[in-house]
Chain A
Amino acid sequence: MSQREYHIVVLGSGGVGKSCLTAQFVQNVWIESYDPTIEDSYRKGIMVDGRHVVLEILDTAGTEQFTAMRELYMKTGQGFLLVFSITSMTSLHELAELREQIIRIKDDMRVPIVLVGNKSDLEEDRAVSRARAFAVSQSWGGCPYYETSARRRANVDEVFTDLCRQIILKDMKDAQVRDYDNPRRPHRNQRYPDRDSGGRTGRRTGEGSGRRRPKKKERCTIL
């Protein structure tokens, strides 16, 4: 099967450190000087569940004020990282509007989204509690919630991998839906909640980890 390419769009208001998140993800360990102006600046191949995928990341950093451009960005995306800073409640609130726009443009409630609370290293300045953010992610159809620290490179890869996994799963679901002409999605709310791998989204660790793996295996066998 040919190599898959997925488009991921990173959104969030200015100053939440989303560009930092992207830069951390895209840069390889052994790059010394980063040049964002070349075509491959935002491409990266990763392994997701045994598949090799290439991610092309569109980060709108710096152009937040060009609100008219947003749609253009959103159109290209198959999955979205909605990033806020845990030190700013408004940055979380601003995401709601973005999510609505995404869903409207994609015309799809199930569009893969991951909610990301960045700057987890600034615990002392925390303004958004985990519970709060998690509640938001639940109200968004149970999309995964991560807390990351781009500065410390904590959970960075995990966020992108999870989003990518969602895109892949959605692809598969869509294929099934098409195949069996059965648009009902069985477990929207059961989509794996936050992952325990980083240990940062502590809330439902036991539950999350307990459920996910067997589910994965199941899917393996389906295919």
Chain B
Amino acid sequence: MADFQDLNLDEPQFHASAFVAPLVINKSPQRSRSASRHTRQSSSKSVCRRTTSIRSQSQSQISPPLTPRTSREELPSAEPQAEFHNYLRAFYHFHPTSTVSSSTDESSITVPINQGDVILVHSVHPNGWADGTLLASGARGWLPTNYCEAYDHQSIRSLLSALTHLWDLVRDGESGDLDVFTKQDYVRGMIAGVRFFLEKTQCLTRESALIVAHVGLRRMRKGLLGDLSTLVKTAKKLQELLQSAGSTLAVFEALDELVLKAFKLVTRAVRFLDIWAQDAVSVPVPFDLSESTNRPLTPPVDSADAQIAPATLPLDLGLNEDATADHAAMVPQASSSTRDEREDPRSQQHHPRTRSRASFTFALPPTESSAPQSSSLLSAQPQSKRLSVTHRLSYTGKSQGLRRQNLASERLCAAHDSFLGFIGSFIGLHLQSRSSSELLMTTRDSVIACRQLLTVVEGVWERDSQRSDPLEHARATMYVKLSELVQATKEMFSNSESVNGEDVFMPDSGKQLVTAATSCVRAAGECVTKARVVIERIGDFEFEQAGPGISETILEGINANLEKETETCNQEPQDTDKPLPAPPPEPVARPPPPPLLISESKPLPEPPAPSPILNPETLHPVIVESPTAVSFRSSRSSLPPLSQLPIPTLPQPSPSDASQSPASATHRFFGQAGRADSVNVSVAGSTSTYPNSVRGDSASIISEVSTRATTPDHSPTTRHGEQAFISSFGSTSELHSIASEETTGLEAQLLEKTFVHELIYNKEGQISGGSLPALVEQLTTHESTPDSMFVTTFYLTFRLFTTPVDFANCLIDRFDYVGDSQEVGVPVRLRVYNVFKGWLETHWQADCDPSALGVILSFATGKLRTALPAAAKRLAELTTKVTEVRAGALVPRLVSSMGKTGISSTIYSAVDSAAPNPVISKSQLNALKNKTSQCNILDFDPLELARQITIIESKLFCSIQPSELLASEWTKKNTKKAVNVRAMSTLSTDLANLVADTILSLEDPKKRAIVIKHWVKISMKCLELNNYDSLMAIICSLNSSMVLRLKRTWECVSMKTKARLEELKTIVDVGRNYAVLRQRLLNHVAPCIPFVGIYLTDLTFVDVGNQTTRQLPGDDGHEGVSVINFDKHMRTAKIVGQLQSFQVPYRLVPIPEMQDWMEAQIKRVRASDQSNVQSYYRRSLLLEPREPAQAVKAAAPLESSAQSITSKDRFDFLSTFTFSSASNIKDR
């Protein structure tokens, strides 16, 4: 506090600057503007000056504007709080003037509204003033809600919500979260919104009856499409800018532009709807009448009303970005003045100073003088339902850092998160240290977190005028669960204290505890969902800090518990017995909310009763106050501890919003002024960070950023000025003509049927779910080349979620609904063809796909032929080829496209180097050729043996088809598909058996030791060859009990060999989910034969561990539609892709003789081995019979597992043979 007061004292020096202007803003718009321009250049030019000057007078009393009227008890805001509406529509004009401003010291930025204006509401102050942005102008500021009504029309709803979403995205973008703008998906929401809108109004196609009959509508429709196309262009520009890593400044300009374009689009849609509802629709209106009858008149800017409007509201014509030529003609004065001012260099010079001042003033807390006043007024204030500012709930929910932390939604999330965190550790780890004190701590933390969550939920519930029943119910449930949890913990303690030992066994209470905690988590989840629904309905609001009271009570209770352990039971009930409404009343000692004070002193202007257009008296003069408006944006959130103090800071407005609003509101056309604004405003935005001065020097850049929507979209640098200016105003005839040219193309895009809304994206922006049509649409998108991972995944896995016939039909549907348009239709149709082509060429599966062949062929000879004859011919050829070539793909697939990146480059790195010469002598070859002679494994070089094994294995590995790996195909008993996978596992087993066989067939321990050494060498060579599969098999066998138990044999094995073997064993260790092996395989260079088992296990678990479907987020509590869980398939494809990336043949020279010999050996082993492992074990026992325990202890040098050796003596040789009866024998 003290710091801030100091700052306050410092302030005057900044104020000494010349451009302190009185609050002359909006009075009688045009005249005042020109007048001020002549008389006081500096003041009128930059809004920043205006706002700062205001601040100097206002003592940073942050509040919405004061009306000139005396306060009235029956404020409109005191009405039972209704739902929070994201959009309002003005039904009266409201033109605040500055006449009163000088007399009072209040300050705030009001925004003039005109009848029919549509406003995006950010927050609503308890006194009824709303912080909103005018769609028509992009101006943001305070406006009286009683002049407006909720605007929510069924047909335009989706467009409006798309706009809100866009706004939120841009907000996130300001904080650097720009990823979403690198794709254009967000614009599709707008397109879909427009499409839905036109569809609802039955004006979708040019040929629709209404459009043909009604000239006005036709024009409007065209304009609408034009607006949409500029929006799309802007989005593209932004995308390019981001991709080319353009300057931050440029990006933010583009973001600005984007928002303005979107606003314009929606404004036009609103007007369209007005005309449609008034004139055009003689047919029954497809929405409820009350809505349409209450709807205010069309805004005066509307082309339909153009004749009336100009006379009464000349300025507003300029403010609105109407594209009609008439209007353009009417505002030359304004635009010329704009230009004048834009070129005024002086205003630019002022920036630095204004900025610095602003940043200090804005951060100021309320002064002492205002405090007592507020408290006295508070007592007089009657109960108002709306206790604090209501905010719109953001859709994106990403920019938590940016947003106010005490918003209910944020608090809810934070509380839930911390609750989950604590309870998670509670469930999972809280007994880690089994000391009762630590357990108590965790418990306490969990309970506190839970309490906090309950408090927030309680707050939400209290605020909701309708007292949501489900929420209350959920809350009650959660409270019960929490009580149970506390109870369980208590029991636990009473037990633990009685035992008072280290190793405490309390099976049931422990279990009970975990159960209680788990159900608590569930209840909390439920509760949070319900609360969120309510918040969405009533609007977000600032949540008062739930005083530390709660937690302290509990804390005390538990601390006491901890200290006086003997009295545990007496202490705890304090918690459990508490009545349901969890939050105690004390913390509700909320900081005296200044909103109340404000609502007392600053009532809304009384809504004019008669038509305000004709009655000038109804234009209430309203003071322009300091931009202390409450703001949705949260610059404030970084004023950390202050906001929690019980001083009237709560509804403290972010100054930035307020300051920016007048700028855009009144000087929309003043290029220069606007520019100044944006800078100034942004400075204001950076004030919030002042306390920690995080942004520091970069403030000037970032500041540009922070005022997206309201900053006029011309660049601060004059060179783009004019262009941007023009393009941002649809009203110029120039743009109009441009727009009309583009309309056609966009129309096609608009008409495009789309399933975009049926896609789900994950946090990384990848598609994680979607319906089949939506996925197919993504597969054939015309905007960009489809993501290769996505395409490969689709080809690989589509048979798991659809049939080939359905897929083919879906593609054909896509071909149909894309239309004939040149712009969109042709590329998409080509993509459809390409998808078919890719399928037939490389991903055709002869066993199941031919069912779709008929569909494809008729498509090729029918629709495709008429559209793309050449493609049709090629496709028809492919269909016949596919039937001819029965097995395999037409185009040999070397490496899947997924594996290509990074690995393909290294694939034949040894292309020029010749394959290594085989290490084999003539005599050895002859011996191999001579079938009668007995060859021994020891006769050959380990390297060559390893090579030949690798060649055999590689052949199998490379022929594994992706389809073998899907849907656990290889585990099926009679699989015909997964032959190669099966062969791999068989080979692996055979090799292991061969190793055992070669060792166990020798009588002499020394000879066995030599063979072991040989195999260790071979496995070393396998490792060198990256043949992990064979390595695994050999090590498994050497490490098997039947070999490992041969104590006398191992005594003959050298230490060096043993050490090597140990080394190899760590590589193939199964522990920690094959961590070592996985690490090795990561980014491994092909050729390589990984241990296939890892992939098989992974694939199995991806399959069973992930659901097949996902839920689309439903609206308003409705259960969403379930769509394909594409994430699961992406994971599957990723694993398959990894495996495929290794499917590269080795450059080794095969020695057929040796391979034959090896295969013969394997066959022999396979034939001789009746019951496999057991027979080997028997042989092992015969070779080296069991020994007494002590001797065994000394042996088994390689035994690493924690085996109980002492038990050995209880088992004799026989018992291990007759396992089934062994237990009985033993236990008898």
Choose one: A73, A101, A110; the contact of B1207 (CB below 8 Å).
Answer: A110
For residue A211, CB closer than 8 A to chain B, the reply is no
Known A27-B1105, A71-B1039: A109·B971 in contact at CB below 8 Å: no
How many angstroms from the CA of A67 to the CA of B1203 in the assembled complex?
A: 22
Contacts of B629 in A (CB 8 A): none
Interface pair A109/B1177, CB less than 8 Å apart: no
Contacts of A183 in B (CB 8 A): 1206-1207, 1209-1210
Query: Looking at B1036, B1096, B1104, B1223, which has the most chain A CB atoms within 10 Å of its CB?
Result: B1104
Choose one: A42, A106, A219; the contact of B1073 (CB below 8 Å).
Answer: A42
Interface pair A104/B1041, CB less than 8 Å apart: yes
Known A29-B521, A68-B993: A216·B505 in contact at CB below 8 Å: yes
Interface pair B1097/A62, CB less than 8 Å apart: yes
Nearest-CB residue, chain A, relative to B985: A65
Interface pair A63/B1097, CB less than 8 Å apart: yes
For residue B502, CB closer than 8 A to chain A, the reply is yes
Interface pair B510/A177, CB less than 8 Å apart: no
For residue B1204, CB closer than 8 A to chain A, the reply is yes
Minimum CB–CB distance from A161 to chain B (whole Å) comes to: 8
Minimum CB–CB distance from A203 to chain B (whole Å) comes to: 20
Interface pair B1219/A19, CB less than 8 Å apart: no
How many angstroms from the CA of A23 to the CA of B485 in the assembled complex?
A: 27
For residue A199, CB closer than 8 A to chain B, the reply is no
- Tell me whether chain A's interface is mostly helix, strand or loop, or mixed: mixed
Contacts of B1075 in A (CB 8 A): 39
Choose one: A28, A67, A213; the contact of B989 (CB below 8 Å).
Answer: A67
Interface pair B513/A47, CB less than 8 Å apart: yes
Interface size on B, residues (CB 8 A): 96
For residue B892, CB closer than 8 A to chain A, the reply is no
Contacts of B1100 in A (CB 8 A): 19, 61-62
Interface positions, chain B 389-432, Cβ under 8 Å from A, are 420, 424, 427-432
Query: Looking at B420, B1070, B1202, which has the most chain A CB atoms within 10 Å of its CB?
Result: B1070
For residue A108, CB closer than 8 A to chain B, the reply is yes
Minimum CB–CB distance from A53 to chain B (whole Å) comes to: 9
Choose one: B507, B1040, B1072, B1201; the contact of A216 (CB below 8 Å).
Answer: B507
Nearest-CB residue, chain A, relative to B1110: A32
Choose one: B429, B431, B1072; the contact of A51 (CB below 8 Å).
Answer: B431
Interface pair A41/B1073, CB less than 8 Å apart: yes
Choose one: A49, A61, A67, A216; the contact of B1101 (CB below 8 Å).
Answer: A61
Interface pair A105/B1041, CB less than 8 Å apart: yes
Interface pair A72/B986, CB less than 8 Å apart: no
Minimum CB–CB distance from B898 to chain A (whole Å) comes to: 15
Interface pair B993/A104, CB less than 8 Å apart: no
Interface pair B1101/A34, CB less than 8 Å apart: yes
Interface pair B499/A220, CB less than 8 Å apart: yes
Query: Looking at B427, B1040, B1223, which has the most chain A CB atoms within 10 Å of its CB?
Result: B1223
- Tell me whether chain B's interface is mostly helix, strand or loop, or mixed: helix
For residue B130, CB closer than 8 A to chain A, the reply is no
Interface positions, chain B 1109-1157, Cβ under 8 Å from A, are 1127-1128, 1131, 1135
Interface pair B434/A68, CB less than 8 Å apart: no
Mark contacts of B979-1012 with chain A using CB atoms, 8 A cut-off: 1 yes-contact digit, 0 otherwise.
0001001101101110000000000000000000
Contacts of B569 in A (CB 8 A): none
Choose one: A40, A71, A96, A141; the contact of B1040 (CB below 8 Å).
Answer: A71
Interface pair B1072/A33, CB less than 8 Å apart: no
For residue A103, CB closer than 8 A to chain B, the reply is yes
Minimum CB–CB distance from A99 to chain B (whole Å) comes to: 7
Contacts of A63 in B (CB 8 A): 985, 1093, 1096-1097
Interface pair A66/B507, CB less than 8 Å apart: no
Mark contacts of B1215-1228 with chain A using CB atoms, 8 A cut-off: 1 yes-contact digit, 0 otherwise.
01001101110110
Contacts of B1071 in A (CB 8 A): 7, 56, 76
Interface pair A101/B1173, CB less than 8 Å apart: yes
Known A56-B1072, A105-B1041, A213-B508: A1·B1135 in contact at CB below 8 Å: no
How many angstroms from the CA of A153 to the CA of B1097 in the assembled complex?
A: 21
For residue A204, CB closer than 8 A to chain B, the reply is no
Known A61-B1097, A69-B1093, A103-B1219: A108·B1204 in contact at CB below 8 Å: yes
For residue B1208, CB closer than 8 A to chain A, the reply is yes
Query: Looking at A30, A61, A141, which has the most chain B CB atoms within 10 Å of its CB?
Result: A61
Contact-residue bracket for chain A: 35 or more
Known A33-B768, A37-B1135, A104-B1177: A69·B1039 in contact at CB below 8 Å: no
For residue B169, CB closer than 8 A to chain A, the reply is no
How many angstroms from the CA of A194 to the CA of B1097 in the assembled complex?
A: 30
Interface pair A109/B1207, CB less than 8 Å apart: yes
How many angstroms from the CA of A42 to the CA of B1211 in the assembled complex?
A: 34
For residue A35, CB closer than 8 A to chain B, the reply is yes
Mark contacts of A69-97 with chain B using CB atoms, 8 A cut-off: 1 yes-contact digit, 0 otherwise.
11111011010000000000000000010
For residue B875, CB closer than 8 A to chain A, the reply is no
Interface pair A60/B505, CB less than 8 Å apart: no
Mark contacts of B497-536 with chain A using CB atoms, 8 A cut-off: 1 yes-contact digit, 0 otherwise.
0010111111111110110001001100100000000000
For residue A50, CB closer than 8 A to chain B, the reply is yes
How many angstroms from the CA of A189 to the CA of B1102 in the assembled complex?
A: 39
Choose one: B507, B1098, B1203; the contact of A106 (CB below 8 Å).
Answer: B1203
Interface pair B982/A65, CB less than 8 Å apart: yes
Known A47-B431, A223-B505: A36·B510 in contact at CB below 8 Å: no
Interface pair B1219/A71, CB less than 8 Å apart: no
How many angstroms from the CA of A218 to the CA of B492 in the assembled complex?
A: 17
Interface pair B1104/A19, CB less than 8 Å apart: yes
For residue A45, CB closer than 8 A to chain B, the reply is yes
Nearest-CB residue, chain B, relative to A63: B1093
How many angstroms from the CA of A61 to the CA of B1096 in the assembled complex?
A: 8
Minimum CB–CB distance from A217 to chain B (whole Å) comes to: 8
Interface pair B1227/A174, CB less than 8 Å apart: no
Minimum CB–CB distance from A114 to chain B (whole Å) comes to: 15
Query: Looking at A68, A103, A221, which has the most chain B CB atoms within 10 Å of its CB?
Result: A68
For residue B781, CB closer than 8 A to chain A, the reply is no
Known A30-B420, A34-B1101, A100-B1219: A65·B986 in contact at CB below 8 Å: yes
Known A63-B1093, A188-B1227: A47·B971 in contact at CB below 8 Å: no
Contacts of B1070 in A (CB 8 A): 58, 72-73, 76
For residue B1179, CB closer than 8 A to chain A, the reply is no
How many angstroms from the CA of A51 to the CA of B1216 in the assembled complex?
A: 34
Interface pair A107/B1227, CB less than 8 Å apart: no
Interface pair A50/B1227, CB less than 8 Å apart: no
For residue B1037, CB closer than 8 A to chain A, the reply is yes
Interface pair A174/B1204, CB less than 8 Å apart: yes
Nearest-CB residue, chain B, relative to A36: B1101
Choose one: A30, A37, A141, A219; the contact of B1227 (CB below 8 Å).
Answer: A141
Query: Looking at B434, B514, B1219, which has the most chain A CB atoms within 10 Å of its CB?
Result: B1219
Given contacts A36-B1073, A76-B1070, A107-B1211, 15 further A-B contacts (CB under 8 A): A30-B420, A35-B1102, A36-B1102, A41-B1073, A42-B1073, A50-B503, A62-B971, A62-B1096, A62-B1101, A68-B989, A75-B1201, A107-B1207, A139-B1223, A219-B505, A220-B506
Q: Which residues of A contact B (CB under 8 A)?
A: 1, 3, 7, 14-15, 17, 19-20, 22-23, 27-30, 33-42, 45-52, 56, 58-73, 75-76, 78, 96, 99-101, 103-110, 139-141, 161, 165, 174, 177-178, 183, 188-189, 213, 216-217, 219-221, 223
18 A-B pairs (CB sep. < 8 Å): A17-B1104, A35-B1131, A36-B1073, A37-B1135, A50-B510, A52-B430, A62-B968, A62-B1097, A62-B1098, A68-B988, A68-B1037, A104-B1216, A106-B1203, A106-B1204, A108-B1207, A141-B1223, A141-B1227, A174-B1204
Q: Which residues of B contact A (CB under 8 A)?
A: 420, 424, 427-432, 434, 492, 496, 499, 501-511, 513-514, 518, 521-522, 525, 762, 768, 968, 970-973, 982, 985-986, 988-989, 991-993, 1032-1033, 1036-1037, 1039-1041, 1068, 1070-1073, 1075, 1078, 1093, 1096-1102, 1104-1106, 1127-1128, 1131, 1135, 1172-1174, 1177, 1200-1204, 1206-1211, 1216, 1219-1220, 1222-1224, 1226-1227
